Amino acid sequence: MHTLQVHTAGDDVRGASLRPRQPWALYQLQVLQNNFCRRASGAPWYVRNDILHRDLELPTISKYMQDMSKSSSTQLLTIPTHYYKQPYPTSLPPHHFIRRPRNVLSDPPDELTAEVERLTNINKDMTEL
């Protein structure tokens, strides 16, 4: 039995929130939230943080991130597909075999190149005087 792995835009959000690049940043935010909850409620030092969050009806930072990523992924899945473009083209462009001409070195220079060469030669002549 084969299973297909489906990748949606919500997976990126969920993966980023569950595996942050800097896990200490979430830890520091959680410490800050714990200190704020303790000071705002006037709880003594021996009250555990999870009891503080439960009494104040506040989710922890990690729980909040998980909830937000789940809700954003479900919102993304409800958007009809005709509202957003495919991330990659479904067919090749019509002129994908355009190449640089092989005789580009033997062709005479265009107007801009000829003018630049003329001015360069004039500058060389002026500096030699």
What would the two tokens of residue 90 be? 């479904």
Q: Say if CB 53 and CB 84 are below 8 A apart.
A: no
How far from 116 is each of 57, 63, 122, 125, 126, CA to CA, in Å?
A: 73, 65, 10, 14, 15
Radius of gyration (C-alpha) of the chain in whole angstroms:
32
Which residue is it, tokens 């000071």?
39
Helices (H), 1-129: 9-18, 23-41, 49-56, 61-78, 111-128
Inter-residue contact 79 to 16 (CB < 8 Å): no
Is pLDDT at 12 greater than 60 in this prediction?
no
32-54 residue pLDDT tens: 999 998 998 998 989 999 899 88
Neighbours of 62 (CB within 10 A): 15
- Angle in degrees, 0-180, between the axes of helices 61-78 and 9-18, rounded to the nearest 10: 180
pTM above 0.85, yes or no: no
Grade residue 10 by pLDDT with cuts at 50, 70 and 90.
Answer: very low
Domain range summary for the chain, segments of one domain joined by +: 9-83
pLDDT tens digits, residue range 61-119?
888 888 888 888 787 777 776 666 666 666 766 665 666 666 666 777 778 888 989 99
CB 33 within 8 A of CB 52: no
Contact 37, 55 (CB under 8 A): no
